[in-house]
Structures are given as C-alpha cells and as structure tokens.
Amino acid sequence: MKPTYYLKELKELSKRYARAQQVPLHKARDTVAEVLGFSHWNDVTKAHRAGWTPTKEHVSAVESLLVEALPGDEAGGPRSGSFIGDSTLETDVKHGTIDGHEYSISASMGDVHMHGTGWHLHVPEAPNREPRLEIAKQIKHEAPVYEAAFQQEALAIAINRAEQVRAGIASDWPRRSTKPDNDDLVRHPIHGAESNEWFCLHCDASITGAQIAKSFWHCPRCDASPLDVFESPWWLGEQDVQLEPIADNELNGRPELVVDVLDTRLKLELDAEKVTLLIRSALVDDASNVSERLGALFADIFVHDDNDVCITFDEDLWPEHKEPVSALAVAAQLGVNVDLELCLRELPIAWPGLGEHTKSTVEYTEMMLNAYASQRADKDVE
Ligand SMILES: [Zn+2]
C-alpha cells in the first residue's frame, strides 16, 4: 500500500468525523492529528512532507475515533467499525463487464459511482434522489450505453450496490433509527435525539418517525442530509411558519434514471484570471535580470471585459524602451490587444536597481540585505 494512500484515508476519515460531529473540517483534522500524536493537522502535513508516513495502525486508531463518535447500537457498543472502513473509502473498487463492456464500481461517502468508457452512473445515498447517468456526447453514437437495456442493467448493478451500502450504514446505527416503536418514535442516528415528529432545516417539512426512517434520515421532500433533520424547528424561532407535513405518497422510493448526454471535453474559456496568468508568465520570460523579473511579477495587468489587456510597468523595475516580446506574442495567440504603460510607484523593496546586476534571486537577496545592513544607525550618515 502506498504511504500517500493512508494520508488520503486519514483525510477522508476526518471529513466523515466532521460530518458526524457537526464540527468544521479543520477542527476534525486537528482531532485526528491528536490521535496521531501531533498538536495540529498542519504538523501532520509538515511531517508528511519531511518523510513521515501514517501506518495502517494509525488509520485504525482514527477509525476507532469515528466509531466512538457514532451512536452505539442498542445491544451494546457498535460493531468493530469495519463497515466504516469499507464504505467511506474507495478501497473496494470492483470491476465487471456488461455485454463485454468493462465497468468499475465503487462507493464513496454513501454514494455509488459506476464508470465505463464515456459514461458515469451516480446513485446518491438519499433513497429518494434520482440516479443519474452521464454520457459523454463525444463518444460514438453506436456505443452500447445509449441502449435502454444496457442502461437498465447498469442501473440494477449500481442500485444493488447502493442497497449494500445502505445496509452497512444502518448496521452501525441504533435499531430505533430504522425501526419506529409503537408510538412512531425513532432515534436520530447521529445525535441520538428521539421523537415521532421531525423537521427539515431546508424545506421546513414536518416528517413522521416512520417516514424519516424509511427515507433513511434524508428529508423525503428535498433530500437534505441526516445532519439537517431535527426534532424541533428551532431555526424558526417565534415565527409563525406553516410546517408542511409530508404525505406518504411522496415517499415513492428511487425515481427513474435520468440520462444526461453532455459534451465533457474540456474547453478553454478565457477570462481575466487566465489572461493575466499567461501574460504574467510571458513577462517573466521577457525579463533578463532579477530587477525585470520583479517588474514582471509586480506589473499591474488589467484585463478589460473584451479580454484586451493593459500592462502597467514600474519605471524602476522595467526599462522604458524594453518591449515585452513574449507577452505580446502570447496576447496575439489569444487574440487580445495590449496597451503598455509606465508608472512610478512606491516599491516594497528599496534600491530596485540592484537586481539589474544579476539573474539570481539568491545573489540579489544578498546584495539587498547588505544594502539594508550597511545603513545601520550606529554608522555615520554619509
Ligand atoms: Zn427538506
């Protein structure tokens, strides 16, 4: 197993922990860092850059942290957390074929993703949300993924996997989260509150215990996640808002497959950010010493709505008659016009001319530091 793989796992687990505990991601990462013996997540990444790598044991320790964060089931503690390990991470990518065409299938954060050549099928964790098949427009029109029979077979495979994922998650939940008692009381799978009426933070729906359990704690109307379903509509305060009960016939289960045919080829859309980046890079090409390079980096590049560019150089960093040949060539390739201007600004570092004598920033920095040091207060003013 590659060391970076474990770091990726730790990141995924932090995300899941943040979700379960309703804390910001950076806090969750710091908690994970503590389990690993660091004070902050920053220290983990620093150590990683310096060669430290998490072990499988580290990952297990963090998995246990997550298991503790989730509610225990009613028979005692939660199971060993093995399901979390399997479901949050894309460790279990499986491969198969439909009519001789290869696909891969994996689960990530409760969602199922199936990929084949030129298509991607996504079945979301929320049971009332539609599965979506995205087909790349640029693939051959005779591709089998356009055929309804192929699509249905792929969908059946993905739905089957989604059911397994769902069963796995439910097995980590208290029994009362998926099975209402005689008074329709159910327990929230994450923060443990109990009630027979639930409310959606997003659409203000009022949901019965049986309904929320059936829809796997996602809002049956707007598919909000379990974290946004509460036992009281506290966000409404004193407002007199009509809470809309959900009718049982709104819980129709998984909707039909939605097929999107999209041109997924990457297209370059020129905007001010991209134009600026390319022009500045070309200006750096044009710089022949440190001073000019600073001039290139410090130049003001203004991009108009039509992408035409105005470059304002600092007189002290860019020679007055020097033509930025590469920048003009790049502009010509992009089909935009360029205006050049010079101005005199206050620069962040004194003696800008020092950079004219070298191409090396290291050498320049030394000269610059010496120049600053040579005018200490204890020296005579010349
Ligand atoms: Zn809702």
Hey, where are the domains in the chain?
Answer: 3-69, 175-246, 272-373
Centre of ligand 1 to C-alpha 201, Å, is 7
Contact 229, 198 (CB under 8 A): yes
Contact 155, 121 (CB under 8 A): yes
Centre of ligand 1 to C-alpha 84, Å, is 26
Centre of ligand 1 to C-alpha 205, Å, is 6
Centre of ligand 1 to C-alpha 78, Å, is 29
Q: Between residues 198 and 20, which one has the greater pLDDT? A: 198
Contact 279, 330 (CB under 8 A): yes
At residue 87 the predicted structure's pLDDT band, cuts being 50, 70 and 90, is: very low
Angle at 186 between CA 185 and CA 191, to 5 degrees: 135
139 Cβ contact partners less than 8 Å away, ≥ 6 residues apart: 117, 118, 119, 145
Q: What is the mean pLDDT of residues 262-279?
A: 92
Centre of ligand 1 to C-alpha 195, Å, is 17
Residue 342 CB coordination number (10 Å):
13
Centre of ligand 1 to C-alpha 99, Å, is 40
pLDDT recorded at residue 165: 84
Q: Is pLDDT of 171 > 70?
A: yes
Q: What is the mean pLDDT of residues 28-49?
A: 88
pLDDT recorded at residue 138: 86
pLDDT recorded at residue 20: 64
Q: Between residues 289 and 380, which one has the greater pLDDT? A: 289
Q: Between residues 194 and 379, which one has the greater pLDDT? A: 194
User: Tens digit of pLDDT for each residue in 355-375?
Assistant: 999 999 999 999 999 999 998
Residues with CB under 5 A from ligand 1 (ion): 200, 202-203, 205, 219, 221-222, 224
How many Å apart are CA 218 and CA 109, to the nearest integer?
Answer: 14
Contact 194, 187 (CB under 8 A): yes
How many Å apart are CA 111 and CA 326, to the nearest integer?
Answer: 48
**How far is the CA of 341 from the CAs of 76, 277, 299, 334, in angstroms?**
74, 18, 10, 20
How many Å apart are CA 60 and CA 183, to the nearest integer?
Answer: 39
Centre of ligand 1 to C-alpha 232, Å, is 14
Q: Between residues 46 and 85, which one has the greater pLDDT? A: 46
Contact 215, 166 (CB under 8 A): no
Centre of ligand 1 to C-alpha 204, Å, is 6
Centre of ligand 1 to C-alpha 221, Å, is 5
> How far apart are the two ends of the chain, measured CA to CA in Å?
66
49 CB-side CA count, 13 A: 5
Centre of ligand 1 to C-alpha 245, Å, is 11
Centre of ligand 1 to C-alpha 228, Å, is 8
Burial group, residue 9, by CB count within 10 angstroms (0-12, 13-18, 19+): buried
Centre of ligand 1 to C-alpha 244, Å, is 10
pLDDT recorded at residue 291: 96
User: Tens digit of pLDDT for each residue in 218-270?
Assistant: 999 988 889 899 999 888 877 777 788 998 888 878 899 999 998 888 889 99
